[in-house]
Structure 1
Amino acid sequence: MAKSKSLIVLILAFGIFGIINTEMGIIGILPQIAQKYDVTVSQAGLLVSLFALAVAVAGPILPLVFSGMNRKNVMLLVVGLFLVTNVISIFASNFTVALIARIIPAFLHPVYFSVAFTSAASFVSKDQAPKAISRVFMGVTAGMVIGIPITSFIADVSTIELAMSFFALVNALTFFAILLFIPSMPVTERQSYGSQLSVLKKPVVWLSMATAAFILSGVYAVFSFFAEYMEKVTHMSGGMISFMLVLFGVTGILGNLFAGKWLSSNAARTALVFPFALGVIYVLIYFMGAFTIPMAILILVWGILFTFGLNISQYWITSAASEAPDFANGLFVAFGNLGVTIGTSVGGLFISGMGTEHVVWGGVIFMVLSFLAIMLRTSIYRSTLTGSH
């Protein structure tokens, strides 16, 4: 039984890898896409920004719509749609078709995330749920940090079409793994839309969503410009930057394991320590940025903290709205993507206004805001629990 549960969690994580790989992998081949369709790189960037916008818009709504359906069928529907649109993208004759093929599945991105997290949590006891979810989160880390270099490498040594076939291959493998190995998962007690939406009446839920947006803004204000920083400030070669990204990803996977364990044992303390720890790393990066070996050591810790941020944000929202898990996970994906958009914009402003080495200060500002929001949320949550006894 334990083996089958581990296999299910692995398949759920692989599915998330396929979806994140489709979303983020495109970043590594934007120049080739711009060339292929004869558009500017900023126009090609719409393949990333409009995808994220569709995810943010759909996040609070579509997981709610699908919350009563058999979870296995929902996952097959989402992954099947990603597979079909991946294939269309490979053969798209013009940029408009490529853009439409990207945006359509993006709306169902939060549906898969929501179902995967809820399913992972449902297979274990309540106190073990953060640990199971952190394992599914490995798919996020792998998609972000392994997907981009793999896609870029395939495009460099062969063709852009073959690189995009990698997205389709991962989603095809996921589809058949779900079909063959995941049992039917009917929803026994369907919650009404009203009962799920009623969690929005709780101030602690809104505070949790704001905290998630601050955390993800602080994480992406700096991470979005990882390669830029390594090139301009640390003066690393392209090959060295790729190696650092892989190193970042490996430690990020370790971070998932630690985050799940620590959130299970003491969530409030883990959340409070996180913004302080990442803020300190950002300050050290500012002062040590020009030195290769200190930067390599800092990247090891940064990778661990990166995935802590993702895990804490998800846990913070879902624990505040535990009575509506599908809706709560949808809110996490929406506010997480909102954080990515805000953080990247603010990081970009620091670079254009002050220079690349100052990008870390955007991250520090959001870490201060995160810390204040976590403290406030913790005190409200405790007083709610005390009041209910």
Structure 2
Amino acid sequence: MAIAVLAVAMFMAVTTEFSVVGLLPVLARDFDISLARAGWFVTAFAVAAAVLGPLLTMAASRYAPRRVLVVAVLVFALGNAVAALTRSGTVVLAVRIVQGGLLPVLASIAIVSAARLAGHSREGWASARVNQGVVATAVLGVPLTAMVAERLGWPASFGGLAMLGLVAAGLIGTLFPRLAGDPPASSRAAVSLLARPRFLAQLALAGVLFTAMFAAYTYIAPLLSLVGTLDGVAVGWMLMLFGFAGVIGNAIAGRVARSDPVRVSAIGSGALALVMTLLPSAGGHRLALVVLVIVWGAAHTAAFVFCQVGAMVAGRDAPAFAMALNISVCNLGIALGALAGGAAADRFGTVAAGYAGAALAVVAVLVAGAIIIVRPQAALSGRELPSPD
């Protein structure tokens, strides 16, 4: 039950982050800005997570996880309420920056706490369980907020997320067990991670992979609309299909991620490269479009678990800080991906965002391949961390 409560909190927080993806056309219209400028609502959140996340997590990890989680969730709820009530794009952007800074705190402490409750060697299972909140974001959160915005306006979407945040905070305060925070000594272990080649290589892989993922995913709504000639409601259903495919991807990832996170990340990157390359040409074939969206959703969601488990394995001495750095690097990738996809779309058309994502996914495959090749040599030279098994 405690891990399920964390999944609810993650659903609220990650839906807050990614609901904007489905709302970009509406936000661009209402604030009278270009699609690329509206992409800054995604970018600002991600940059804040990348810059502020590790420091805030290191400070917060000394306190009891339940207290930190409740405070973080309440701040998310308050921010969503403000976004629902304002009509200023600048205020919405400021809210996104605050929420972005707190996302790594919430997510890293939630995932690490779940792993502590699950026990050693079950990190993949625990991460996948908490990640069900991320999956639910793709299945329900993003498509429902898009549909609500289409019918009632985007402020109603943020209002609903504010109420869900209050519910999540209450559930954590009531049902989540008391756990001790990390001892002060863990700060030294946290800083030492930055000198470990294996951990830094894992972060590099996560950053490139997430840049690839979000070069295309940030613009999935206009991309599907253009390629498939779909209206807003149809795009919502396609986003829901994407999310249901993510359920499958999350289940598979929870089982295989612990075996070799780098190798499975390479496979997932290859699948993403293939899908993003083929998608623009699938518009005239609705069945092909459906199949590609399913594969895309499964690989996209699995990548979250692959990177989470990879960070926990490589940074076992300071798992909360390792997870925060992973989330921060992933969010930096989200920001760079949004910018790269937006730049490609502005210059060459919306479909170019898909091609940009494909090219970056190929780079992620190459990075993973390099890690796999070098890894045995590092192990023999003593520079590699010992296996956690």
| Equivalent of 1:371 in 365, 369, 375 | 365
| Equivalent of 1:157 in 137, 151, 154 | 151
Q: 1:252 is aligned with what amino acid?
A: G
Following the alignment from structure 2 to structure 1, what is the Cα–Cα distance between the partners of residues 122 and 274?
30
Q: 1:78 is aligned with what amino acid?
A: A
The match for 1:334 is 328
Deviations 1:74-130 (A, max 9, x none): 101111222223333333475544443433233211100110110111122332211
| Equivalent of 1:103 in 97, 100, 112 | 97
The match for 1:298 is 292
Following the alignment from structure 1 to structure 2, what is the Cα–Cα distance between the partners of residues 275 and 103?
29
| Equivalent of 1:171 in 165, 169, 178 | 165
What is the aligned-residue identity percentage?
A: 26
Relative to the length of structure 1, the TM-score reads 0.89
Which structure 2 segments of 5+ residues have no match?
none
Which structure 1 segments of 5+ residues have no match?
1-6
| Equivalent of 2:8 in 8, 14, 21 | 14
> Once structures 1 and 2 are overlaid, which stretch shifts more, 205-214 or 283-292?
283-292
SS of alignment partner, residue 301 of structure 2 = helix
2:254 aligned with 1:260, yes or no? yes
Following the alignment from structure 2 to structure 1, what is the Cα–Cα distance between the partners of residues 333 and 79?
26
Q: 2:205 is aligned with what amino acid?
A: T
| Equivalent of 2:136 in 142, 146, 165 | 142
> Once structures 1 and 2 are overlaid, which stretch shifts more, 43-52 or 19-28?
43-52
The match for 1:272 is 266
Distance 1:94 1:222, change over 3 A: closer
The match for 2:176 is 182
SS of alignment partner, residue 257 of structure 2 = helix
The match for 2:342 is 348
Question: Deviation at 1:182?
Answer: 0.5
Question: Deviation at 1:57?
Answer: 0.9
The match for 2:68 is 74
Q: 1:81 is aligned with what amino acid?
A: V
| Equivalent of 2:353 in 359, 365, 369 | 359
Q: 2:112 is aligned with what amino acid?
A: T
Following the alignment from structure 1 to structure 2, what is the Cα–Cα distance between the partners of residues 87 and 283?
39
2:275 aligned with 1:284, yes or no? no
Q: 1:69 is aligned with what amino acid?
A: Y
2:80 aligned with 1:86, yes or no? yes
Relative to the length of structure 2, the TM-score reads 0.89
Following the alignment from structure 1 to structure 2, what is the Cα–Cα distance between the partners of residues 202 and 253?
33
Question: Deviation at 1:169?
Answer: 1.2
SS of alignment partner, residue 228 of structure 2 = coil
Q: Give runs of ≥4 in structure 1 deviating > 6 Å.
A: none
Following the alignment from structure 2 to structure 1, what is the Cα–Cα distance between the partners of residues 195 and 301?
29
Question: Deviation at 1:41?
Answer: 5.6
Deviations 1:304-353 (A, max 9, x none): 11112222222222322111111111111111111112222222333334
Q: How many residues align?
A: 382
SS of alignment partner, residue 107 of structure 1 = helix
> Once structures 1 and 2 are overlaid, which stretch shifts more, 269-278 or 237-246?
269-278
Distance 1:282 1:154, change over 3 A: closer
The match for 2:232 is 238
The match for 1:228 is 222
Distance 1:52 1:282, change over 3 A: closer
Distance 1:244 1:269, change over 3 A: same
> Once structures 1 and 2 are overlaid, which stretch shifts more, 189-198 or 301-310?
189-198
SS of alignment partner, residue 277 of structure 2 = helix
Contact 1:67 1:190 in 2 (8 A): no
Distance 1:191 1:41, change over 3 A: farther
